[in-house]
Structures are given as structure tokens and as C-alpha cells.
Structure 1
Amino acid sequence: MPDSIAFISDIHGNLPALSAVLADIAEQGVTQIICLGDVVGYGGQPGECVDVLRERGIVTVKGNHDSMVADGIPAGDDVGITMAMMWDWTEQALTTDQRQWLRELPMTLEHPDFQAVHATLKNPAGWGYVLTASHASAHFMHQQRPLCFIGHSHWPAFWVAGETDERSITSLESIDMALKQLVNVGSVGQPRDGDENACYLIYRPEQKDVWWRRVPYDIAAAQRAIEEAGLPIKFADRLRFGK
């Protein structure tokens, strides 16, 4: 039976949250880690977060924020001044080498048990959200493995093909390898489900389950990094509320 795997996502330049999560993963005895993207954006320490993943050799797929700052994709007219300013600052804060690492990240990951992508397997580079049963159904048409792990919405979730609604989840959910299941692992650095603690997930093949974990971290330190970078204060304020 394969070893357990920790999935992290949506770090968003939040080094205190990333550090706390990696420490918790180590405490659980899990050595394999996969990152589902959005290493950068919003937070004040994007380069430091990139370096941690690179130095530890953590397999990472590309998120929309990673693509925005590394690939130079136009933000569009509807983005707004604060978002455009944040992406511009993030791009300038990264070294050429860090941007190149982000640029070369794959869009998807294939494993015998699962697939992984930042947003959805339906047009991964379109960055669509899975928020409804209809979104999940469209995704499942492209899922070829029993499991798929995603991030992007910053909201832990569990969808099963053929079911008409998202499952109400607890911190631990059983999986059935005879079914197609879509698992959102939550956000390390920008939780938005009303819980301010960092969120990540452990996939345990032997126990046949997925286990979301919430980890307290130094929110004040993450807020200071945002303020010292001169980024919009709302990016710091929202960390207190997990919104």
C-alpha cells in the first residue's frame, strides 16, 4: 500500500502559514508532499515560499496567480486596481530564477490513484471554479482516476460523481476507489471558509480516507509582511477572519 501524501495549496506568499503546515506534516510522519499551486499572490513573502518548495523538492502544479506573475498573462479590464497592483508587486519581488521555476510548473499531475490540478480538469488553464454540482459534473467528464485533488476556491470540499450536491464534510472522510471523487484540499495561506487556521489535507490510502487538518499559525507575522510590502491592507485584515 502506498504511503500517505500531504496536499497543500493556495499558500499565497504566507510564509508563517506554510512553515506551520510543514511542521505539522512532519509531526504526522508524512514525508511526501504535493502542492496544488498558487504559491504566490496576496502575501508579502512570495519569494521565500517559492524557495521553501524548491529547496524541499516539493512537487508543485501551477496556479492562476503563479501563471499571472510568471507568464505575464494580461489580467483583463475587470481585475481592479488593487489586484493588478498586487500582481505587479509580486512579479517585482521575485527573482528571475523564481519566476522561471513558476513558469515551468506543470498544469496537472498524474498518479495511479489520482490526478491533481489547481482548478479543474475541464480546461485547467481556464481557471474555472468547482463550486456547484454542475461544476463538479463538468469536471468529472475529464477525470480518469478514482480521485482528483484540487485547490483554487480556498474552501475544503468533497464531491462524488453521480451525486447531486456537495457532501457535508467533517475533518475525516472515507473514500471509495470504485467511485470518482473530487477533493478540495483547502488553503494554507488564505482560508476562506470562516476558519482562520491554515488548512491542508492528508490522503491515506491504507485507511482509505482523506483527512483535513487545521493548523494555527502566526497571523500577525503574516499581516506584518503584507503591510511592510506596501500591499493593500485588506489582504492582511482578511487573514484574521478566514474570509
Structure 2
Amino acid sequence: MRIAVVADIHGNLAALEAVIADLAGMSPDLVVNLGDCVSGPLEPGRTADLLMSLDWPTVMGNHDRALIDRPRHEMGDWDQPAFDEMTPSQLDWVRGLPATRVIEGVLLCHGTPSSDSRYLLEQVVAGHMVLRDPADIAADLDGVAAEVVLCAHSHMPRHVLLTDGRLVVNPGSVGAQAYRDDTPSDHVMQNGSPHARYAILDRKGAVWTVAQRFVAYDWNAAADRVLAKGHPEWENALRFGRMGRADASDKA
């Protein structure tokens, strides 16, 4: 059994297309999507159309939810640009996404099984995300019987083996390799390169292995696109996988 896992596409159609091309050489039995599909200033509508046509099993992320659970004036600066380009049928597709799914004994969620806006594998310390204690991760998975848990939200590729044998995997982000956020407190995430990220999970018998894939695409064109659309805060995240200038210290 081979499962490909994508997440946090954030409307980056070029990055998604590069991942799809890379998947052709991986021959997965199943591709799953952990949400945050379109929010951002890139190409939300075309990304939604492609995902709808692919019909991958998908769960709702916090930014997906933000497109449908509040009026536009209460949306954040990632969500408003996407909402403005979404059609009613695309929003209906988002509205129909479940919060969690279980497929082949694998649990899919965006943040934690009970919250799409909390980090499962990380906590914020001094403005940056660090790995949580395994006991705290396990506490958020209390009552979850799945042997593998797939999560996203932090955009950080990571896999953690808990003491009870459960495997927790974050595939990283297809479309956004750096960001700043103020929830639960001010912090920065930056992966340090602009590559699109996803994961491949293989099961042989009862044993799972994980491969994190970093895929090149035309990130300079993506950065130029957000500049042309009036969103310079996205440029360095797309071009360098960092916040702020690539040659400057971060001030998160």
C-alpha cells in the first residue's frame, strides 16, 4: 500500500502541478489531501477546479473553513483574495469537505483530530515552532484508534513515532514554505527552501515507512505573480522559503 499525502496547497497551482507530475513516478495507490486548498493570492479558482477534477479524498483546513463560515469582511488577508475568485460551485465543494476522514486505518486531519487550527506536532516557543513532547501529542490523539495519523497546518514536513507505535506524519506544504501567524501567539514558520513538499507512505505488512519529497517548480514566476497582484508579503516565502529578505535576519 502506497499513499501520497499533500496538504496546504494554498492556491499555488504551479506547485501543485509539479507535485502531480512527480507523483507520476511514484505510482501511489491513493492520494489524500489534508486541506487548506486555496486560500492565498495565487490561483485559487484554477486550483479548486483541478482539485475538484482529481477528486482526491480531502479534509477541510482552517483556511478552507474561513471561506465559508464568516462574512468576507471578517476573513483574513489570505482568505479574502481567494474568496473573491471563488465561484459558488467551488465554495460548495469546500463546504462539503469533512473535518476528518479514516481510510485504510489511516486518520486524516488538518490540525488535530478535534481542531483544524491547532498544531499537533509543534508548539510555539519564543516566536518559533518546536517539536512537542510525545506525551502531549498522544494526549491530542486520545481515543484515536488509527495506526497512522496524517496532519498538516504547520507546513513543516515531519514524522513522529509515538511510544505506543502510532506514526504521525505531516507532509509539509505544497504551496507556502514560510509564513507569520499570531495564533496561538506571534511566530514564524520557514522551511528555508521554496520547493513544494509532500510525503509518500509505504506499508509492507504492519510496517510503515515515510519519504518526504521536495519538488522544484517555477517559484520565481509564482513570486512575480503575487507581486503583480499586490501581495509583496508573499514574495520571499515563495522565492526563498523564508520570511523577510533572504539576506536579512528575521524579526518574528
TM-score range, shorter chain: 0.7 to 0.9
Q: Deviations over 1:134-191 (max 9, x none)?
A: 54132221421111001100001122323xxxxxxxxxxxxxxx71121111110012
4+ residue runs over 3 A deviation = 73-76
**Structure having the larger proportion of residues in strand:** 2
CA distance in 2, matches of 1:75, 1:159: 38
Pair 1:73–1:63, CA change in 2 (3 A): farther
Q: Provide the C-alpha distance between the structure 2 equivalents of 1:22 and 1:189, rounded to a whole number of angstroms.
A: 13
Paired residue type of 1:234: E
Aligned-pair CA distance for 1:26: 0.9
Q: Which runs of 5+ in 2 are unaligned?
A: 123-131, 178-189, 243-252
What's the secondary structure of 1:39's corresponding residue? Answer: coil
Query: What is the aligned length?
Result: 217
Question: Given the alignment, which residue of 172, 176, 182 partners 1:190?
Answer: 176
3-state secondary structure, aligned to 2:210? strand
SS class of match (1:182): strand
Q: Percent same amino acid among aligned pairs?
A: 31
Match of 2:208 in 1: 208
Q: TM-score, normalised by structure 1?
A: 0.82
Matched, 1:146 2:147: yes
Bigger RCO (CA 8 Å, 6+ sep): 1
Amino acid at match of 1:236: E
Report if the CA contact (8 A) 1:17-1:198 is conserved. Answer: yes
Q: Secondary structure at the match of 2:17?
A: helix
- TM-score with structure 2 setting the length: 0.79
How far apart, in 2, do the equivalents of 1:75 and 1:135 lie?
Answer: 36
Deviation, 1:60, is 0.9
Q: Name the SS of the counterpart of 2:24 in structure 1.
A: helix
| Residue in structure 2 matched with residue 16 of structure 1 by the alignment | 14
Is the Cα–Cα contact under 8 Å of residues 72 and 83 in structure 2 kept in the other structure?
no
**Residue number in structure 2 paired with 1:236:** 235
Aligned alpha-carbon RMSD (Å): 2.1
The structure whose residues are more often helix, as a share, is 1
Give distance in 2, aligned partners of 1:156 and 1:99: 28
Which residue identity does 2:153 align to in structure 1? H
Once the two structures are TM-superposed, the CA of residue 236 in structure 1 deviates from its matched residue by: 2.2
Report the Cα distance in structure 1 between the residues aligned to 2:73 and 2:110, rounded to whole angstroms. 18
